[in-house]
Amino acid sequence: MSESVAFDLELEQLSDYEFKVKFGAPGVADLLLDEPAPLGGGKGPNAARLIGAAVANCLSASLLFCMAGKFKQRPGPLRTAVHGELTRNEKGRMRIGRIDVTIRMAEDASTLQHLDRCLQQFEDFCIVTESVRRGIPVAVRVLDAHETEVFTAG
């Protein structure tokens, strides 16, 4: 059985390439978007950066939900870094060529129970990453407090 959940948002052009995003959700602040110079004024993130942030947030939240929500483990505050690359396609148009995400946990992996289980499944529950991967390669790494790589994909 297929399930569908809708969401709505609205963009309002303020000037040039500057837009205000209204999420239409109680308590959610508007967000200013803008293209970097020379096209825009760089007053806010652009759409490519939002995609990177959305992928990183979804992956981080998914890992946190598995660790803290399901197994009551404390991976410590997560820090997630994104490296995106813009490349030109065969028509010379700029596209997001790839997104690399590195999630850093504040704790040593050996102190976290069920980490292996969470690492095997957290990506699959990330709505944004699994949707974006249909068109953009996304690589993911998870490091523990000692910078030991405990997971890699993509």
Average pLDDT by consecutive 10-residue portion of the chain (154 residues)?
A: 87 97 94 96 96 98 95 93 97 97 96 94 95 95 95 93
What is the predicted pLDDT for the residue at 141?
A: 97
- Residue-level pLDDT at 154: 87
Q: 13 and 87, same structural domain?
A: no
CATH label of the domain that carries residue 136: 3.30.300.20
| pTM, to two decimals | 0.91
Final residue before a domain boundary, out of 11, 26, 45: 45
Q: Are 95 and 89 in contact (CB under 8 A)?
A: yes
Residue 86, judged by CB atoms within 10 A of its CB (0-12, 13-18, 19+), counts as exposed
- Look at residue 2 in the predicted model and tell me its pLDDT: 75
Q: Does one domain contain both 27 and 94?
A: no
Domain range enclosing 15: 1-45
pLDDT at 87: 96
Same domain, residue pair 4 and 51: no
Query: What total of structural domains would you count in the chain?
Result: 2
How would you classify the pairing of strands 138-143 and 10-15? Answer: unpaired
